Amino acid sequence: MSINQKKLPIYSFFKCVEKNFDKASQFLDYDKGILKQIKICNAVYQIFFPIKWDNEIKVIEAYRVQHSQHKLPCKGGIRFSPTVNQDEVIALAALMTYKCAIVNIPFGGSKGGIKIDPRIPDEFKEKLIRRYTSELIKKNFIGAGIDVPAPDYGTGEQEMSWILDTFISLNPGDINALACVTGKPISQGGVRGRKEATGLGVFYGIREICNLKKEMNNLGLEVGLEGKRVIIQGLGNVGYHTAKFLYESGAIIIALAEREGAIYNPKGFNIEEVMNHLKENKSILNFVGAKNIKNTLEALEIECDILIPAALENVINSENAQRIKAKIIAEAANGPLTIEADEILNKKGTLIIPDIYLNAGGVTVSYFEWLKNISHVRHGRMERRFNEIKNFKIFQSIEKISGKKISEYEKNILLHSPDEIDLVYSGLEDTMRNSFYELLYIKKYKNIENLRIAAFALAIQKIYNSYQILGIFP
Ligand code: GLU
């Protein structure tokens, strides 16, 4: 570590978010009062409650934070992590506000956290999440039009269905109860494609940037994903799906890092084989043909084209930033770079694709799930058969006019009318593409130095406009 780096101040996570906000505000000639209102956190609910744990009573610390209520409901995940604290949840809720704005999702930003190791047995998880939900209900902090939780670090479909069940039982007759939480199993009102949504969105975002000739030339890289050397930190839901889609597109996953250590193989990993190994051995280490790296964070410093932190915040900081050799950093996690690391890496010329754009696929598909729940109908249900019949009539006419037969293979493609999963993928891809071009546009038009500040500026612009129209409630 150089002396200069040591001198850098250490900011809290929320302070980092605020600093980025301030940098971006300088590009926008906006009313200071409204900017302040956008930046501050609207509401923090801190909860302590007791849980019977074997023969002792444990006091659990938990939070739900609504950073912005400029659009309702507020939206954001709930995490289980031993490091949960108020500053972290506020910062994550703020990132949700900006994320939703960037991808044009009409929600405010929120986040929840329960301070606990996610590896606790299911029976305690269930007790915890049900109690937490009832605390949120008591204070009117959850509901289809109020605040809608979703999965985050350490939580998934199972926890979401416990939330739903608790909510329904305490809100009898609420016709929109299903929309009180997203990321549910399909059988409980979930939407197809939600599980892989964040990873798929990360993939779409990386693909967009890798298709830009000028950017790739500047980094000395070829256009496209094929052959790009990738390192992924975190093999949870987001990391795994990101790795899967990149692998299927010809990228080479050269290193994978988990809590217990990392594995490295310059020839690349087949991600499904690694996942099977992980399931069997409860560890990614000792994977055949790979080199073990005991200190997992060292894997981030290996030379590669794309480094994808996909776990928790602050993993790249003033201590290790200088040693990062990746040409592109794709932020699948929320806040993986501290502000100091961001500055060091920008100086080095690293291309950073910011979290508030790149990992917005999760909340985008949560929005599709919420729409499905409040409309009480599966996406595509009304028009699917109609389209199939119309397509059938079109190719009957083509065959009649041309006097030629269309092959069975082509007929099957033409006949196909979108299912829910097709619509979700299409909506997600469209969202990630549109927002990417909006980002590039504001970056160029306002002459902003990097994508993160451009992303904040885009978010502020959109939220500001909604305040302009709404006015401020007196
Ligand atoms: N936890 C995810 C995120 O940080 C998803 C939030 C949601 O779907 O509401 O973006």
Q: What is the CATH number of the domain that holds 74?
A: 3.40.50.10860
Would you give the distance in Å from CA 93 to the centre of its chain?
Answer: 12
The CATH number assigned to the domain holding 366 equals 3.40.50.720
pLDDT at res. 6: 47
Same domain (yes/no): 362, 436: yes
Report DSSP state, residue 313.
T
Do 153 and 230 lie in a common domain?
no
Q: Report the nearest atom of ligand 1 relative to the CA of 77.
A: 1
Say yes or no: 236 and 150 in one domain. no
Measured between alpha carbons, how far is 83 from 139 in angstroms, rounded to an integer?
24
Nearest ligand 1 atom, CA 107 = 9
Q: Is the pLDDT of residue 171 over 90?
A: yes
Average pLDDT over residues 402-427: 92
Distance CA 38, CA 41 (A): 8
Is the pLDDT score of 470 beyond 90?
no
Neighbours of 292 (CB within 10 A): 14
Angle at 161 between CA 158 and CA 165, to 5 degrees: 140
User: Does the structure show a pLDDT above 80 at 455?
Assistant: yes
Is the model's pLDDT at 410 over the cut of 80? yes
Contact 190, 151 (CB under 8 A): no
Residue pair 105/72 in contact (Cβ under 8 Å)? The answer is no
> Does the N-terminal peptide bond of residue 185 adopt cis geometry, omega within 30 degrees of 0?
no
Which residues, judged by CB distance below 6 Å to any ligand atom, belong to the binding site of ligand 1?
Answer: 75-77, 150, 152, 182, 334, 359, 362-363, 366
The pLDDT tens digits for 20-30 are 999 999 999 99
With respect to residue 389, please indicate whether it lies within any of the assigned structural domains. no
Tell me the torsion sign for CA atoms 172, 176, 178, 182. negative
Structural domain total, the chain: 2
Same domain, residue pair 290 and 206? yes
- Among 68, 74, 152, 369, residue to substitute to test ligand 1 (most atoms within 8 Å of Cβ): 152
181 and 199 assigned to the same domain? no
User: What's the confidence (pLDDT) of residue 96?
Assistant: 98
- Same domain for 138 and 200? no
Asked if residue 238 and residue 101 are part of one domain, the reply reads no
What 3-state DSSP class applies to 368? Answer: helix
In a domain, residue 412? The reply is no
Output the six-digit token pair for 16.
Answer: 């980092």
198, 185: one domain: no
Quote the pLDDT of residue 10.
74
**Per-residue pLDDT tens for 210-246?**
999 999 999 999 999 999 999 999 999 999 999 999 9
pLDDT digits 0-9 by tens, 116-125 = 999 999 999 9
Domain of residue 332 covers 191-380+418-474
Residue 203 lies in a domain: yes
Say whether 111 is catalytic: yes
Same-domain pairing of 151 and 222:
no
Residue with tokens 């949504």: 197
Residue 3 pLDDT > 90: no
Q: Pick from 163, 190, 217: which residue ends a domain?
A: 190
pLDDT in tens, 248-291: 999 999 999 999 999 999 999 999 999 999 999 999 999 999 99
Per-residue pLDDT reduced to its tens digit, 303-362: 999 999 999 899 999 999 999 999 999 999 999 999 999 999 999 999 999 999 999 999
Statement to judge: residues 62 and 206 lie in one domain = no
Distance CA 111, CA 123 (A): 23
Note the pLDDT of residue 2: 41
> Which pLDDT band, with edges at 50, 70 and 90, does 79 fall under?
very high
Asked whether residue 436 is domain-assigned, the answer is: yes
Indicate whether this model's pTM tops 0.75.
Answer: yes
For residue 371, pLDDT over 50 is answered with yes
Judgement on whether residues 115 and 91 belong to the same structural domain of the protein: yes
What gap in Å lies between CA 394 and CA 413, rounded to an integer? 13
The pick from 81, 146, 363 for probing ligand 1's pocket by mutation, whose C-beta has the most ligand atoms within 8 angstroms, reads 363
In the chain, % of residues over pLDDT 90: 92
Among 323-332, 400-409, 443-452, which is the least confidently predicted range? 400-409
Written as six digits, the tokens of 274 are 């690694």
Q: In 87-203, at which residue ranges do the beta strands (DSSP E only) sit?
A: 108-115, 147-148
Residue 390 falls within a domain, yes or no?
no
Q: Of these residues, 71, 111, 115, 372, which one is catalytic? A: 111
Give mean pLDDT, residues 47-74: 95
Same structural domain for residues 137 and 222? no
Q: Give CA–CA dist 296/258, Å, rounded.
A: 7
For the chain, what is the mean pLDDT? 95
- Res. 51: pLDDT tops 90: yes
- The separation between the first and the last C-alpha atoms of the chain, rounded to the nearest angstrom, is 51
